Each structure stands twice: as C-alpha cells, then as structure tokens.
Amino acid sequence: MRKSSDMSTLYDDDILLWSEQQAAAIRRLGRSAREIPNELDIENVAEEIEGVGRSELAAVESYLELIFVHLIKLVVEPDSTSVRHWRGEIAGFHANARRRYSPSMRHRIDVNALWRSAREQSLLAYEGAEHECVAGLSVKAPLALDELLAEKIDVAGLASRLH
C-alpha cells in the first residue's frame, strides 16, 4: 500500500499530528465500516498509534528538562571539572530535542513546568550544600521554547540568563 505524499510529508514533519489524525481515522473506520474483522481491536490499535506521537512529545520534553538541569549545574558549579562534560551533554540533548520536535508540540510543551521540575531536581541534588543560588533561581522559566530549540544552542548565553 502506497502512502500519499501528503501523509508521508506529515508523518515526516509532524509525527504527533500524524499519529492523532491516523488514530481518529481508524476510530471513524471502526464505527462506520461493516467489513472489519472482529479480531481487529480498533480502539487499542488507535491508542498505540497515538502513543507514537505521545512518546515523541515525552522525549522532547525530557531532553528540554535535561537541558535545564545541566544549565543549572553550569550556573551552580561554574568551576567544576565536569563543565565541559555538561556542555557536551547539553549539545547532545539539544540535537535530540530538535530532531524529534514537531510543530504541533509547540502548544503542548509547558516550558514553565519543565523548568520547575529541573529546578526542584537541582534543589534536591544540592540540598545541604553551600550552593544557595539554586534556591534563588526564578520559579518561572527564564528561557523560552524557541531559545531552547534554536538552530544552534548558545550554552554560555543561556546559562547566563538563569541568574
């Protein structure tokens, strides 16, 4: 069976939207078609297809949260011997987030929630340490989605914005 060029493009360009559209189409087919075999579990097939898109969204959110966590490390421990490693990890998380990001994710990604989670993780990681600057970090995300997904990530510039 050949994919239409429009569906192929949507599949390649926006897996989240594609998965939602395909799941809806399968559900409509299940409600209207009379010749679908009984053993075809329409609802669970649709859920699995939707799961593909949700999984991609979760992956992007996870990479963005990891970027935040590692930026906080750079701010809290600027003289650490791990700085180069953290910068490298940020670059890798950024590349992975950009590769998996699709346009329909924009309105579903809550950058403030990701920031709060990264900040909370950092507060726990540095609890009892002499690093009071984590508690001083804004509760609201100091960076926007576009900055996190820019074509080229400016690690030093983003870290400086956390203060």
Domains and CATH numbers, the chain: 5-161 (1.20.1220.20)
Please give the Cα distance from 67 to 73 (Å, whole number): 10
Q: What is the pLDDT of residues 4-19, one digit of tens each?
A: 556 668 999 999 999 9
pLDDT > 70 in the chain, percent: 93
Q: What is the pLDDT of residues 29-57, one digit of tens each?
A: 888 877 777 778 888 999 999 999 999 99
pTM strictly above 0.85: yes
Q: What is the pLDDT of residues 81-103, one digit of tens each?
A: 999 999 999 999 999 999 999 99
Between residues 127 and 24, the one the model is more confident about: 24
Q: What is the pLDDT of residue 5?
A: 57
